[in-house]
């Protein structure tokens, strides 16, 4: 509930009196076209109406218009709704709140639970009502209004801090100036207002605002000032009093139906949204679960408004930065780019090219992975190692085409979904454990705990590869309709779309625990952080944080029967000629076979196998001969060849 506490602060005059007359619904953004001369907006926002300044609404609305609650009762007859109540009116309430963008309500199931209570409290805040979580007569009246309060989301932070200039347009769609004008800190009509520039007048207006609501009045439009200016929570002082707003608990936040990747920066969740190639169709959602639910979501647009092609294809967190991957440059050419965003300031750096491809054409790839302080990014048929501190390319490895999505690390190698199957590569350039077992895995995105690799089949069965033994087995169906999975807290967590639940599978015990119900539809992405799972729901366009700290699995006798076992070839392949270092170098399939065999045995000094017997291959052969009691001459004859393929 709204409460007042005397703080003995100086009474504000003039404009503050007028500002206090404006409810949280009316102080929304005007969205006047400027800057980029663009009238389109992020889907989490709505277009301006001529009769009332609206607030941005969440894109999770399943309907294009706001449905009214329809019952046979008049508003005076409608009962109060609170925790534990069930019925058709609860279902209609949840549907309307969801359509207004209050995603924390979760599933529309006709049961008034803590999720519905959080959504009601949020609606009451934005409707200037007492925050009780109970749908009483007053709240029913606000819901029945012709224009009920929609979910509020501030406009996108433009990804950079504007410099003071009265002649340079700022790529924020006039948002900051509009907001300051509504609050009567800025007078519309000046030249810098007309072009949407952050000039001295706008800076001074921001400083005036900062004097009352921020620790420092520096006139800098950084992300903290942006959040405070656009906060839906009334925090102003007047008459020696400060308005404070009751907090509430929620585990669900609004997202979008086009999230392509999730990342955790240590304290906040990041969602990368990509709806197409256009600038306003690509942005980041930053969610801080430690902030007030009404202020927890921040939108950041990472590209300049002059950018024609801005499609985000993947995202990871590494080296204290958010990394975005683009498969084209600003003009749409097939040039892979990387871009960094500072997670604290929201400032986005200029994207840079990291890969060079034959004929200046990089076949699109989306694979990204992190390990040992390095970032690995796929482009065309290679993976590139990036130093997170400098962005410098350190080395690249062949991975094949169409390496996609999240590349998971088993302690030695990355596993990823490629063009035809699940495969692996060693960042150090050597062989991987059981890399010839990848064709035994089901075709799907892999997950690993460092010893086992899993992929899921559509029917709920899983393939499990033991990296130490090379044995691949199918696991009995764990869930009915697996849609995403992630490893954490010594369990493999699997989201089941059919039962709307998550099940933990213990590799150690060989069985799973009880399902954990979730509150969305179509869980397509999962992320593990500390004692929680973050689950993104495509259909309900929301994300949920689920506590798994106390999850337990009882041991049973449930076992799986191995079906695939790798056995060595009974006889080595035929050696058709003696191989050695010559000038020019000997080349052929037999040389490539030799190199691959040496790599599998750990002789990584030969580098990338290319079918050419060069100095590095000679070095690897000599070390193999020395370690196996053979004549060290670098010549691969029948004795060296047989020993190599019978190891």
Whether the predicted pLDDT of 571 surpasses 90 = no
CATH of the domain at 607: 1.10.101.10
Give the tokens for residue 323. 């990394």
Same domain as 285, residue 325: yes
Quick check: is 88 in a domain? no
Same domain as 428, residue 366: yes
pLDDT at 555: 83
Give how far the C-alpha of residue 374 lies from the chain's centroid of Cα atoms, to the nearest Å.
19
Quick check: is 89 in a domain? no
Whether the predicted pLDDT of 238 surpasses 60 = no
With bands split at pLDDT 50, 70 and 90, how would you rate the model's confidence at 439? low
**Which of these three, 499, 532, 567, is where a domain ends?**
567
Same domain as 337, residue 259: yes
Q: Which one is predicted more confidently, 639 or 33?
A: 639
pLDDT at 469: 85
Same domain as 520, residue 612: no
Same domain as 324, residue 290: yes
With bands split at pLDDT 50, 70 and 90, how would you rate the model's confidence at 17? very low
pLDDT digits over 255-267, tens only?
Answer: 998 999 999 999 9
Quick check: is 68 in a domain? no
pLDDT digits over 84-105, tens only?
Answer: 999 999 999 999 999 999 999 9
Question: Average pLDDT, stretch 583-587?
Answer: 88
Same domain as 367, residue 409: yes
Comparing CA positions, the residue from 533, 541, 44, 521 lying closest to residue 251 is 533
Same domain as 344, residue 390: no
pLDDT at 239: 42
Domain residues for 347?
254-353
- Decide if 97 contacts 57 (C-beta within 8 A): no
Whether the predicted pLDDT of 248 surpasses 50 = yes
- Decide if 179 contacts 13 (C-beta within 8 A): no
CATH of the domain at 404: 2.40.10.480
pLDDT at 243: 60
- Decide if 470 contacts 437 (C-beta within 8 A): yes
- CA–CA–CA angle 20, 26, 28 (5° rounding): 110
With bands split at pLDDT 50, 70 and 90, how would you rate the model's confidence at 175? very high
pLDDT at 89: 95
Question: Average pLDDT, stretch 212-227?
Answer: 94
Establish whether the linkage from the previous residue to 584 is cis, with ω within 30° of 0.
yes
The mean predicted confidence, pLDDT, of the chain is 83
- CA–CA–CA angle 202, 204, 210 (5° rounding): 105
Query: Which whole-number Å values give the CA distances from 205 to 101, 317, 365, in the listed order?
Result: 31, 36, 46
Contacts (Cβ under 8 Å, ≥6 apart) of 10: 240
Same domain as 516, residue 620: no
pLDDT at 374: 86
Question: Average pLDDT, stretch 3-22?
Answer: 31
Question: Average pLDDT, stretch 392-409?
Answer: 93
Interatomic CA distance for residues 380 and 383, integer angstroms:
8
Whether the predicted pLDDT of 276 surpasses 60 = yes
Give the tokens for residue 36. 């980029």
Same domain as 324, residue 291: yes
The pTM score is 0.77
Minimum mean pLDDT among 162-176, 427-441, 500-514, 537-551: which range?
A: 427-441
Quick check: is 152 in a domain? no
Quick check: is 8 in a domain? no
**Which of these three, 307, 332, 353, is where a domain ends?**
353
Same domain as 511, residue 459: yes
- CA–CA–CA angle 10, 11, 15 (5° rounding): 130
Q: Which one is predicted more confidently, 322 or 54?
A: 322
Minimum mean pLDDT among 151-160, 216-225, 308-317, 431-440: which range?
A: 431-440
Q: Which one is predicted more confidently, 56 or 335?
A: 335
Same domain as 633, residue 532: no
Quick check: is 309 in a domain? yes
Q: What's the structural domain count of the chain?
A: 4
CATH of the domain at 539: 2.40.128.630
Minimum mean pLDDT among 23-37, 143-157, 309-323, 376-390: which range?
A: 23-37
Same domain as 308, residue 369: no
pLDDT at 438: 61
CB atoms under 10 Å from CB of 73, counted, come to 11
Question: Average pLDDT, stretch 366-377?
Answer: 92
CB atoms under 10 Å from CB of 130, counted, come to 16
With bands split at pLDDT 50, 70 and 90, how would you rate the model's confidence at 408? very high
pLDDT at 597: 86
Quick check: is 379 in a domain? yes
**Which of these three, 432, 457, 491, is where a domain ends?**
432
Give how far the C-alpha of residue 458 lies from the chain's centroid of Cα atoms, to the nearest Å.
24
With bands split at pLDDT 50, 70 and 90, how would you rate the model's confidence at 19? very low
With bands split at pLDDT 50, 70 and 90, how would you rate the model's confidence at 181? very high
- Decide if 106 contacts 87 (C-beta within 8 A): no
Quick check: is 104 in a domain? no
């Amino acid at each position: 509930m709204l409460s007042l506490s005397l703080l003995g602060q100086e009474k504000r005059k003039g404009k503050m009196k007028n500002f206090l007359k404006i409810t949280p619904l009316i102080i929304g953004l005007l969205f006047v076209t400027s800057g980029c001369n663009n009238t389109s907006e992020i889907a989490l926002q709505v277009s301006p109406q001529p009769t009332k300044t609206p607030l941005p609404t969440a894109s999770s609305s399943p309907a294009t218009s706001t449905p009214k609650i329809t019952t046979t009762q008049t508003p005076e007859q409608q009962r109060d709704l609170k925790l534990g109540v069930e019925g058709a009116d609860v279902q209609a309430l949840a549907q309307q709140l969801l359509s207004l963008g209050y995603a924390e309500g979760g599933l529309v199931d006709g049961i008034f639970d803590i999720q519905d209570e959080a959504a009601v409290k949020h609606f009451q805040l934005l409707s200037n009502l007492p925050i009780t979580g109970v749908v009483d007569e007053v709240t029913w009246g606000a819901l029945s209004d012709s224009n009920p309060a929609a979910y509020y989301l501030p406009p996108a932070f433009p990804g950079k801090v504007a410099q003071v200039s009265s002649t340079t347009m700022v790529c924020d769609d006039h948002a900051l100036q509009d907001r300051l004008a509504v609050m009567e800190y800025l007078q519309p009509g000046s030249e810098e207002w007309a072009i949407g520039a952050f000039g001295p007048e706008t800076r001074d207006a921001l400083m005036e605002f900062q004097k009352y609501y921020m620790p420092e009045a520096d006139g800098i439009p950084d992300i903290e000032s942006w959040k405070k200016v656009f906060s839906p929570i009334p925090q102003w002082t007047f008459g020696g009093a400060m308005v404070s707003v009751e907090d509430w608990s929620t585990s669900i936040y609004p997202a979008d139906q086009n999230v392509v990747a999730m990342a955790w920066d240590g304290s906040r969740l990041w969602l990368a949204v990509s709806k197409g190639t256009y600038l306003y169709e690509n942005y980041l959602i930053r969610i801080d679960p430690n902030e007030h639910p009404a202020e927890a979501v921040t939108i950041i647009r990472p590209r300049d408004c002059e950018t024609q092609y801005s499609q985000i294809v993947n995202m990871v967190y590494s080296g204290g930065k958010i990394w975005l991957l683009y498969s084209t440059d600003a003009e749409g050419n097939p040039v892979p780019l990387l871009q960094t965003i500072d997670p604290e300031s929201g400032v986005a750096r200029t994207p840079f090219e990291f890969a060079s491809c034959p004929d200046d054409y990089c076949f699109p790839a989306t694979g990204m992975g992190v390990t040992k302080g390095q970032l690995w990014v796929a482009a065309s048929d290679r993976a590139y190692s990036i130093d997170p501190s400098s962005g410098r390319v350190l080395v690249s490895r062949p991975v094949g085409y169409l390496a996609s999505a999240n590349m998971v690390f088993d302690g030695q190698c990355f596993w990823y979904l490629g063009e035809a199957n699940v495969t692996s590569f060693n960042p150090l350039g050597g062989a991987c454990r059981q890399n010839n077992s990848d064709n035994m895995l089901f075709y799907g995105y892999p997950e690993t705990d460092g010893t086992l690799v899993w992929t899921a089949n559509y029917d709920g069965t899983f393939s499990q590869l033991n990296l130490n033994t090379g044995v691949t087995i199918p696991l009995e169906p764990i869930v009915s309709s697996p849609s995403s999975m992630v490893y954490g807290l010594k369990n493999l967590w699997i989201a089941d779309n059919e039962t709307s639940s998550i099940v933990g599978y213990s590799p150690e015990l060989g069985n799973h625990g009880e399902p954990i119900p979730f509150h969305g539809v179509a869980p397509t992405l999962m992320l593990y952080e500390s004692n929680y799972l973050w689950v993104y729901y495509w259909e309900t366009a929301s994300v949920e944080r689920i506590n798994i700290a106390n999850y337990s699995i009882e041991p049973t006798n449930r076992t799986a029967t191995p079906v695939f076992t790798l056995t060595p070839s009974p006889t080595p392949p035929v050696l058709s000629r003696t191989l050695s270092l010559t000038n020019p170098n000997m080349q052929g399939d037999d040389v490539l076979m030799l190199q691959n065999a040496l790599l599998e045995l750990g002789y990584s000094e030969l580098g990338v196998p290319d079918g050419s017997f060069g100095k590095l291959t000679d070095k690897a052969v000599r070390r193999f001969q020395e370690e196996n009691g053979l004549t060290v001459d670098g010549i691969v004859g029948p004795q060296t060849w047989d020993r190599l393929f019978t190891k």
